[in-house]
Amino acid sequence: MNDPRAWPGSVRVFAEYDRDFHVSADVVVVGSGPCGAVAAYELAAAGKSVVLCEEGPPFTPADYEIDGAISMSRTMREGGLRFTSGTVLPTMQAIALGGGSLVNSAMCNRTPEFRFQEWAESSELSRTSRADLEPHYDAIAEFLGIATTPDEVQGPRNLLFRDGCKALGYSAESCPRNVVACRGSGECFTGCRARAKQSMDISYVPAAIRLGAQVLTSVRVEQILSDGRRVTGVSGRVVAPFTGTPGPSFRVEAKAVVLAAGVVATPLLLQRSGNLANSSGQVGEHLQFHPGTSVLGIFPDPVDPQFGATQGYQSLHFLRDGFKLETLWAPPGVLAVRMPGLGHPLKQALLDMRFASVFDGIASCRRSEGRVRERGKSLQPAMSWRFHPDDAAILGRAIWHMAEIFFAAGARKILPGIAGLPDEMHSLAEADVLRTRTLRPSEIVVASTHVFGTTRMHSDPRRGVVDEDLKAHDLDNLYVVDTGVFPRSPAVNPMFTGMALARRSALALAGRV
Amino acid sequence: MSLLWTFLGIAFAGWAVARLFLGYGAGDPALRQLASREQAFVRAAADAVFPSGGGALALSGSEAGAVAHVDRYVDSLSPRSRVLIRLLFFLLEHATLVFPAPGWDGIRRFTKLSPAQRVAVLDAWQRSPLAVRRTVFQSLRAIVTMAYFANATVLRGMGLAPLEMESPVIDADLLYPPIGRPKSAIRFTPADRERTIVRAPLDPHGPLDPAYRENA
């Protein structure tokens, strides 16, 4: 068993498909991101035969691109150019074995109890409290080696955030991450060359293969097959990596189907499959994000920001106020987009980046919602979303507090990136306009990768898509286990809570098939 | 009268064709996606955002290889995304009809403007009170900025080039071949997992990734 090539499970890659095929299993899991990978592993560990379908290919270090633009175009759906209509919000969903875990910053936060209480009230949930999920959080944390980020790989830019928070009396926590032996390369978003990040493709997926799971990569599930109240499997096409060119057809017959295709793709798949599981009319509704924005601060001394954990520190101080603050690093070309100006002044400003640190704020938006629909007959979504002015004001407060933290940490200037305000602010007094002015949605540059709500969990079948075990109300053997089941924002990064819910759901399902 | 209208119609059509398609010169035939007029636009925009000269970042956008990088980027996108990018270039190339550059000749297409006029045009988009214009500008600048930063000399000049780092061999490397290759292309064996790899925190002033070194 020491040689993965001798494990009972298998993985198929694009080059190995030369004809139509069909397979059968106890359970087929659609999507190998954090939630799907956990579900596949737990089902395999329970002795079930599992087929895990993933539209993207597996990436090896030889396939990573350090260059930000090219990396995004290869790892993200629609080349990283996906955005909502209504309020234009760039949003990225990964297409790779391991899903978003391949290219996220590995933050593993547990949703706070107050937010679970809000979920319980809004969705009439009786067994989805923090205490209910603790055993699942703990099991995943142990499996992945989740731990806070050690100081030796924080790098100055993360520690400056800590120092600024401390000076102001705000809490600052070293980020818990699914990372083992981080080297501080700051390359989480383009694939961890150090293999330190325990993304699903190198952790849960191989573990599931070791237990006998069959992993089909480069296969796009296009239809959920059903018969009355039961689903019978899925069907679709092999697709070429990056181009999506369709190849042979495939079908997986299974006693149960677990959807973990993501908040955008899962509702599309249900809509394409005869509007399945949608007697409530809630499939694709309540599309919610954590809109995020960043502030750049320039310090007197070099920060050497290319070294350090991508997101090493965070502050949970303002969670009840509706936002969370974090440190951030990304490929320099991506961050440089934030630098104002043109021509020689811009080039001069870019030389400041060695002295820069970047903080970002994400907002829990209660009032900002949208929907996901099919875009014609294509497999791409039409997403609409509106950034409510009250939620924009919350993000505005986050920007002000980031400015505070920068100056408390000794920054000589900040670049808030707000339309209509000065490009640079050199003191807290100058930045006070960020505190006194209510920012409008159009004035803030926002983006988001945290998505929820489109297949929400609710105990009432008329008001939600799945129950607390994440089983579809309308069907006996269809489960949805991605973050689309969240009734609302989890207040923090959603991955860990999605995985905990998926684990609980998989254990429940394992007892039923 | 109808003759006059016919003449005016032909003249307008000729002017429109000339504005849209003529006078761009030959593009680089090695590029896979960008037409010669798109290459000209990207070159002009990249050099407006990143002009030549200026100390540690002396390279201009085009000298840094922005046109080839944008071509590679567009080539890696889906057909729909490619259309969006092309529309963006087209829009900004010809938007001077609606938002002219300063000067009596400011209505010419972007690539025909002087360098100073190009900067003025982009600055107007950047500072526009209309959010949609700012978004268009940000999209263009994101593309040329990411292209500029793909250049190793630029990253070295900023002190932000990636550091050298060896990837340890793990179980997954025995399961997955490089993308597009069959599993027979997996070049690792179980013994490779035992190879000693440095796992200590990187030294920010340590050696650069080989692709970003001066002699690369």
The domain that contains A73 carries what CATH number? 3.50.50.60
- A348 and A469 belong to one structural domain: no
- Given A430, A445, A460, which residue is the final one in a domain? A445
Within a domain: residue A36? Answer: yes
Q: Is the ipTM of this complex over 0.90?
A: yes
When pLDDT is averaged across residues B171-182 and rounded to a whole number, the result is 96
Is residue A323 within 8 A of residue A364, CB to CB? The reply is yes
Distance CA A94, CA A188 (A): 13
Domain match, A273 and A304 both: no
- CA distances to B81, B91, B110, B135 from B94, rounded to whole Å, are 20, 6, 7, 17
Do B76 and A74 lie within an 8 Å CB cutoff? yes
- Both A213 and A91 in one domain: the answer is yes
Q: Compare all CA atoms of chain B with the CA of A217 and give the residue at the minimum distance.
A: B176
- Whether A140 and A164 share a structural domain: no
Give SS3 for A119.
helix
Mean pLDDT of A201-218: 98
CB contact (8 A) between residue B149 and residue A194? no
- Flag if B76 and A59 touch (Cβ within 8 Å): no
Q: How confident is the model at residue A329 (pLDDT cuts 50, 70, 90)?
A: very high
Decide if A114 is inside a domain. Answer: yes
pLDDT digits (tens, 9 = 90+) for A385-412: 999 999 999 999 999 999 999 999 999 9
Tell me which of A445, A470, A485 is where a domain ends: A445
| Residues A221-239 pLDDT 10s | 999 999 999 999 999 999 9
Contact B204 A304 (CB under 8 A): yes
Q: How many domains does chain A have?
A: 2
For chain B, which residues make up each domain, given as ranges? 26-158, 171-212
The H-or-E segment that residue A72 falls in is helix A68-75
Task: Looking at the structure, tell me whether residues A68 and A207 fall in a common domain.
Answer: yes
* Cα separation, A184 vs A188, whole angstroms: 9
Buried b or exposed e, range A136-164, using 16+ CB within 10 angstroms: bbebbbebbebbebeeebbbbbbbbbbbb
With bands split at pLDDT 50, 70 and 90, how would you rate the model's confidence at A201? Answer: very high
> A155 and A132: one domain?
no
CA distances A126 to A466, B7, B101, Å, are 14, 78, 63
Q: Are A340 and A217 found together in one domain?
A: no
A404: domain range?
151-177+292-364+388-445
Q: Residue A1 has what pLDDT?
A: 64
**Chain A residues touching B66 at Cβ < 8 A:** none
d(CA A511, CA A343): 64
Tell me how long chain A is.
Answer: 513
Point out the domain boundary residue: A445, A472, A490.
A445
Sequence-ordered alpha helix ranges (H) in chain B? 2-21, 36-49, 66-75, 79-94, 115-126, 131-148, 152-158
**Is a pLDDT exceeding 80 seen at residue B216?**
no
Window 329-368 of A: residues touching B by CB (8 A cutoff) are 331-334, 336-337, 340, 342-344, 346-348, 350-351, 353-354
User: Which of A511, A502, A512 lies closest to A208 in space, CA to CA?
Assistant: A502
Q: Are residues A402 and A332 in the same domain?
A: yes
| Residue A186 lies inside a defined structural domain of this protein | no
Please compute the mean of the pLDDT values over residues B144-170 and round it to a whole number.
93
Which CATH number does the domain housing residue A328 bear? 3.30.410
Q: What is the pLDDT of residue B2?
A: 80
- Give the mean pLDDT of chain B: 91
A426 and A478 share one domain: no
Whether A182 is covered by a domain: the verdict is no
Minimum Cα–Cα distance from B200: chain A residue: A183
Q: Which residues pair with A239 in a beta bridge?
A: A246
Query: Which residue in chain B is spatially nearest to A342 when comparing CA positions?
Result: B49
Interchain CB contact of A206 with B (< 8 Å):
yes
In terms of domains, do A100 and A58 share one?
A: yes
Instruction: Report how far residue A238's alpha carbon sits from residue A217's, in angstroms, rounded to the nearest whole number.
Output: 8
Chain B nearest-CA distance from A250, in A, is 19
Instruction: Answer whether residue A398 is part of any domain.
Output: yes
Average pLDDT over residues B46-69: 93
Clarify whether residues A266 and A300 are in a common domain. Answer: no
Whether A203 and A282 map to the same domain: the answer is yes
Q: Do B131 and A380 touch (CB under 8 A)?
A: no
Provide the pLDDT for residue B1.
65
Residue A124 lies in a domain: yes
Instruction: Give the pLDDT confidence of A39-82 residue by residue, as tens digits.
Output: 999 999 999 999 999 999 999 999 999 988 889 989 999 888 89
